[in-house]
Amino acid sequence: MSEFTLGIIGGGQLGSMLSIAAKKLKIKTVIYCNDQKAPAQNFCDEFIHAQYDDKNKIYNFAKQVDVITYEFENIPFETLNELNKLKTVLPKPSVNRLIQHRLAEKDFINKLNIRTTRYVYIESKEDLLPLEDFLPGILKTTTMGYDGKGQYPIIDIKDIETLNIDFKNEYILEKLVKLKKEISVIITRFSNNKYEIYEPIENTHEDQILRHSKIPAEIDQKIFTQSKEWSIMIAEELKYIGTLCVEFFIDCNNNLYVNEIAPRVHNSGHLTINAYNVSQFENHVRAVCSLKQIPIQKLSNAEMINLIGKEIIPYRENPNLNDKQFFYDYLKKDINEKRKMGHLTTLK
């Protein structure tokens, strides 16, 4: 059998875990990333360091691979579109363009009659003034946000006066939901009505960064079923190929809202590596490389904790694990405050 090669754009920990999953399936990986220090170069077969608008390097990358995927959504549409003329890009570039724009994403979800937070498009400070009804709220850039970056809480109308942001960007203002809980659902779609869906995962955030995930989520049957149904509807409507994550809010009245969609494997799904027979990463590789779909089975309950900034240090020195604990070091050289450095999964 001739060797199959998967191209991955982006070289963070998600790229590393996709490479590890591909290797297990005897698929070669080439990673293309604009960060010279990208940690995934420790795990892939080949690494290309280049900018996302470097036409020559993009062309050479496409020549080396059979199919192309990506590990983060903030890639210029032009890059994905150019690549897609040379080799198949999955998920499709048009899906990425929709989801990477918060306004287009929320409009799409609402058209499916799925609940989101209330939101409104904002172009200038003046746009905010009549919107007291949306406060307390969060102003979010429409593109390029992650881990709470590009987000500005506005508690009351007085905060607008002192707001020091650049309206060269576009924003949406979102009404704050009184959160009871956050959950996520990860689904891998292979083709029409053929998908594998993981059970909802309960997530805790600190400073808008994911801190902790666990299965089972402590939710009732209504939320369990509705979150899965909405995730299937979204994946089917997008004709999505690969792994997708839907993030949800549950408010104090037990209403479910879609917060956002990630067109990729997701941090909350790291526990699927140890808790399921097939992880979200392996499923993504299987789907985009047209490999066989295997029914997923949960092997164990689990929880995962992100190791942020300096928290990685004691684990690097002496992880001291029992046989139900699994420590992952992303091998990032620079330790920065608020940077995800590794994680620990514990089977329950």
Question: Between 247 and 282, whose beta carbon lies closer to Mg ion?
Answer: 247
Of 70-78, 244-252, 263-271, 300-308, which part binds Mg ion (CB under 5 A)?
244-252
Residue 147 binds: one of ligand ADP, Mg ion, none (C-beta under 5 to 8 A by kind): ligand ADP
Strands 201-206 and 179-191 come out as antiparallel
Side by side, the strands of the sheet bearing 151-154 are 119-122, 171-175, 137-141, 151-154
- Reduced to 3 states (helix: H, G, I; strand: E, B; else coil), residue 135 is coil
Task: Please tell me whether residue 169 binds ligand ADP under the rule CB under 6 A.
Answer: no
Q: Which amino acid is at 231?
A: S
Where in 104-123 is the site for ligand ADP (CB under 6 A)? 117
Instruction: Indicate the burial class of 323 (C-beta count within 10 angstroms; 0-12, 13-18, 19 or more).
Output: exposed
> What DSSP assignment string belongs to 283-314?
HHHHHHTT-------B---EEEEEEEGGGHHH
Question: Between 31 and 183, whose beta carbon lies closer to ligand ADP?
Answer: 183
Question: Between 105 and 247, whose beta carbon lies closer to Mg ion?
Answer: 247
Q: How far is the CB of 260 from Mg ion (least distance, A)?
A: 5
Q: Nearest-5° angle of CA 347, CA 266, CA 41?
A: 95
Q: How far is the CB of 110 from Mg ion (least distance, A)?
A: 18
Q: Which residues pair with 296 in a beta bridge?
A: none
Question: Between 105 and 196, whose beta carbon lies closer to ligand ADP?
Answer: 105
Q: Which residue among 25, 86, 104, 176 contacts ligand ADP (CB under 6 A)? A: 176
Q: Which residue among 63, 123, 146, 194 contacts ligand ADP (CB under 6 A)? A: 146
Q: How far is the CB of 196 from ligand ADP (least distance, A)?
A: 24
Q: How many helices (H) and strands (E) does the chain have?
A: 11, 18
DSSP secondary structure letter of residue 142: S
Phi and psi (nearest 5°) for 178?
-75, 100
Residue 107 C-beta-side C-alpha neighbours within 13 Å: 10
Q: Which residue among 260, 268, 273, 306 contacts ligand ADP (CB under 6 A)? A: 260
Question: Between 117 and 243, whose beta carbon lies closer to ligand ADP?
Answer: 117
Q: In 3D, which of 299, 284, 304 has the Cα closest to residue 190?
A: 284
Q: Which residue among 64, 148, 197, 291 contacts ligand ADP (CB under 6 A)? A: 148
d(CA 337, CA 308): 7
d(CA 157, CA 134): 10
Q: 44-67: b or e for each residue (b if 16 or more CB lie within 10 Å)?
A: beebbeeebeeeeebeebbeebbb
Of 35-43, 145-153, 238-246, 304-312, which part binds ligand ADP (CB under 6 A)?
145-153
Of 46-54, 81-89, 100-108, 243-251, which part binds Mg ion (CB under 5 A)?
243-251
Q: Which residue among 145, 200, 242, 269 contacts ligand ADP (CB under 6 A)? A: 145
Binding mask 246-265 for Mg ion (x = CB under 5 A): -x------------------
Question: Between 60 and 169, whose beta carbon lies closer to ligand ADP?
Answer: 169
Task: Please tell me whether residue 274 binds ligand ADP under the rule CB under 6 A.
Answer: no
Tokens read off for 334: 């620079």
Q: How far is the CB of 205 from Mg ion (least distance, A)?
A: 8
Q: How far is the CB of 210 from ligand ADP (least distance, A)?
A: 7
Binding site for Mg ion (CB under 5 A): 247
Binding site for ligand ADP (CB under 6 A): 117, 138, 145-148, 174, 176-177, 179, 182, 205, 208, 247, 259-260
